[in-house]
Amino acid sequence: MARRDRAWRCMSRGQVGREFGRFLIAGAINTALTYGLYLILLDPLGYFVAYSVAYVVGIVVSYFLVSRFVFRTSTSLAGFFRYPLVYVAQYLVGTLVLWMCVELAGVGKEIALLASIAATVPVTFAISRLVLNPRPG
C-alpha cells in the first residue's frame, strides 16, 4: 500500500506541469465558448440571464474538458455533481483576495480583479485535481 501511494505521488509530480498546461488551454477554450454564448444571448435575454446561462453552461463544459482533456479521467454522474464545488471554492477564494486587495492593500478595484484571477487559477487547478482525479486506493 505504501509503495503504491509513493508511486502515485511520483507519477503525479511528473504530470502536474503537463496537466496545468492543459488546464490553462481548457480554461481559455471554456472562456471563449462561454463569452461567445453570452454575446449571442445578450440581446434576446438581457445581460443577467445571458450571464447566468453562460455561467452554468461553462461549468458543464469545464467539467468535460477538465475531466477528459486535462486529467484524462472518465466522467461520472457523481463527478459531475461534485464538480460545481470547485466553482464555489473558486468564488470564495477570489472574493477574499479581491476584498484583501481593495480594502487592506489599497489596490484599485480594476487591478484587484487581476490579482484575484491570478490567485484562483492554481487553487481551481488543485481543487479540480482532487475532485476529478482522486488518489487510487
The span from the CA of 61 to the CA of 45, in Å, is 21
| Cα angle for residues 31, 37, 39 (degrees, 5° grid) | 100
pLDDT tens-digit readout, 31-69: 999 999 999 999 999 999 999 999 999 999 999 999 999
Q: Say whether pLDDT at 3 is over 60.
A: no
Nine-digit cell at 14? 511528473
Range list of H helices, the chain: 2-45, 47-64, 77-82, 84-99, 109-132
C-alpha distances out from residue 20 to 2, 29, 48, 93, 124, Å = 26, 14, 31, 19, 11
Mean pLDDT over 121-126 rounds to: 94
For the chain, which residues make up each domain, given as ranges?
Answer: 17-132
